[in-house]
Chain A
Amino acid sequence: MDFNDAPQEAEFRAVVRAWLNENATEYRDPPPEGMKLPEFIARSKAWQAKKHAAGYTGITWPKMFGGQGLTPMHSIIYGQEESRWHVPQGLYSIGLGMCIPTVFTHGNPEVVQRYVPKALLGEEVWCQLFSEPAAGSDLAGIRTKAVREGDEWVIDGQKVWTSFAHASDFGIVVCRTDPNMPKHKGLTMFIVNMKAPGVTVKGIKQMSGGSDFNEVFFDGVRVNDSHRLGAVGDGWKAALTTLMHERLAVGGKPRYAPGYETLMKLAKDVEAPDGSPAIGASDVRQKIAQTYINDQGIKLTQMRALSALSKGQVPGPEQSISKVVVAKTMQDLASFALDLSGGDGFVAGADADPELAKLQGSYIGSAGLRIAGGTDEILRNIIAERVLGLPGDMRPDKDTPFNQSVPA
């Protein structure tokens, strides 16, 4: 076994590293705190354009769509090298990671020509409009409707949990086009202009106080039929393309999240109930060990997948355990560490210890992470059904016309 790059990987890494050393110098330090959205967008666009000119965008995409036609391993190596710098991240991850692959898989040639190059260059930002107030885990239960009028479709309804909707130029939206069909069959996907009349974006204030997501309202929004992605009624198929790409993206432990080292450091300074350092207490040591096993176990599991990719093989299904382990481990660790700190772990704001404040952030944030991109429960269903081959859940509404199982 060998944790080093294969020769051709090492060569690519060296080229990337040299390019970043030359071109990423202004991102040596973290950006100033509290950056406003317009500045974040400007920084993101500038970096994306630079990357694009050098051929580091769309690394795995086919060349015919402006990509580089390289392997997932190349993309991973680029990402590893880029993460050593504080380059702006996030604005394009949904658009280029999920939306545009759906556009070039299901869109007509004119649409692909119009949208894909500008997205890759970073000129236009994209968002994904899937979830609704009544359709989260049960995504096929969406109610936003699109009604055909001549060459156009008219969209009415509401989407929710849309990241970067407020910064986006376009989005992909799944709508119900035939409520007489069973729920998975009456859906169609469209490209929608986020600046079109009738689109309203409202930020959602989360439990954490932050606003990463939006509600998006559609009120008589008109979309040309040429902007349909896939056949009428094939929206579920198109959505699966998008979600397949989401599963590749959501998984690892967030870079800022505390880990077993955090608890080791804290437990040296905090006292156990008997006055001795908490690091000597058996329950503390067991928690450190468990956190190490979970966090490192996920890192190592990802390395197993990378090894498969490196050999040109398809990774096994073991990657599917990532997010469900990472999110709950983060919550358990934060909760345990705050318990250990007693009242100090509860004091927030200006009086809070900065390390404990981070743990508080992790305690709050992990509650969201356990839901975003597939809840713990849905992910367990997926492991049980797709990996272990257990039968699907009982779905009494599966074959019923949508308008008979849901009140209009």
Chain B
Amino acid sequence: MNFDFSDEAKELGEQARKLLAEKAGTGPARRAMAADAPAMDAALWKEIAELGWTAARVPEAHGGLGLTVEEVAQLAEAAGGSLAHVPLVSTLLATEALVLAGTEAQQAKWLPGIASGEIIACVAWSEPGAVSPATVKTVSSGSALTGVKQPVADLAVAHVAIVAAAGADGPRLYIVDLKGAQTAAVETVDLVRRHGKLTLSATPAEALGTASDYQDWLDRAAVILAYEAIGTAGAAMAMTVDYAKTRVAFGQKIGRYQAVKHKCADMYIKLELARAHALHGLAMIGTNGAELRQVAAAARVASLDALAYCAEENVQLHGGIGFTWESDCQFYYRRNRALVAALGPRGWWADRLVRALEQRNSAAA
């Protein structure tokens, strides 16, 4: 039995955490929050590209390293933990779609630039009024899309968008070249990560894979985003635990009180459950396992549960200071909303999990 990351993936994760601990974190996040701050940390992005992180998942034939989704997960967790102000997870999610479903020509057009870091990719999934992947309103007319996608993470810095829209046979993915596209900034609850509005009016778009590929990509995206959420939740938990070890009230460290320590234990419990399912998701992706649909949904739900709990109780256990503008608690609390909006709410994913279980049961019957 080997239910664990490969040593290579762990090594890359270690490298990523080390670099981002130095170059990212709450300090740079606070600077990024300023209204006139750039939409990404360009110097850090350059360094990341040089280290090959954006090339990790790109096949060698297209200038990449041809690594596995385990490496992608390690990078997503490191990015989530450090709040790094770079479009790394957006680009990794888009790369996964291109690697999974792109034609040879589509891959040749986009992947080499992604691998070198010159092309930044984003995922346009959310829409006004759409709360699940099933209720997409942006429509395709063959070779063009019409509709509004928002909020789209990292849209302002991206060169290409992977767009979810309704095709003839149901929702699926499209590639939209953002050169000349109609974009605008959108304010969101997350003040660090920039989001935008992409208005599509018969905008040229290429279909990316089939409707079934879209469903498969949703599974993979759910697992990758689970790792980002785990990274962010872990950072919030670490912040809480540090504070509980130092803050004194009623003559002793607040970490001595069970009301406090039991919440910290619950943070850990929720995080470990999320880790178990997310790792299972990686195992299923790596082996083309038939259970990926249910496993990915479980990873998504468990990771959102962990993040919501850690982010919320982090503020709570800091008390009044945690509610101030100067406190770093707000970064995790706000990022929680960004990660929910990125791929639809917990309730829809829990339902997807149960649908997958029902299908498995009826197939077995």
Contacts and interface: CB of A to CB of B under 8 A. Distances in A.
Contacts of A1: 2-4, 6, 70, 279, 282-283, 286-287
Contact of B255 (A2, A298, A390): A390
Interface residues of A, number: 51
B347 A381 contact: no
18 contacts: A1-B279, A1-B286, A4-B1, A288-B357, A289-B297, A289-B353, A292-B353, A293-B273, A296-B280, A298-B273, A304-B276, A318-B276, A381-B258, A381-B261, A383-B264, A384-B255, A384-B261, A391-B256
Contacts of A324: 269
Interface in A377-394: 377, 379-381, 383-385, 387-394
B262 interface: yes
Given A321-B268, A389-B241, A391-B255, A380 B2 contact: no
A168 interface: no
Contacts, number: 155
Contact of B350 (A289, A306, A318): A289
A384 B286 CA distance: 34
A368 B262 CA distance: 20
A306 B1 contact: yes
A286 interface: yes
Contacts of B18: none
Contacts of B301: 289, 293
Given A391-B245, A394-B256, A300 B3 contact: yes
A308 B4 contact: yes
Residue of B1, B4, B275, B286 ringed by the most chain A CB atoms within 10 A = B1
Contacts of A5: 1
Interface string B231-275: 000000000010011000000110110101110111011001111
A310 B1 contact: yes
A393 B265 CA distance: 14
B50 interface: no
B283 A380 contact: no
Contacts of B297: 289
Nearest to A302: B276
Which size bracket describes the interface of B in this complex?
35 or more
Contacts of A301: 272-273, 276
Interface of B: 1-4, 6, 70, 241, 244-245, 252-253, 255-256, 258, 260-262, 264-266, 268-269, 272-277, 279-280, 282-283, 286-287, 294, 297-298, 301-302, 305, 347, 350-351, 353-354, 357-358, 361
B139 to A, nearest CB: 28
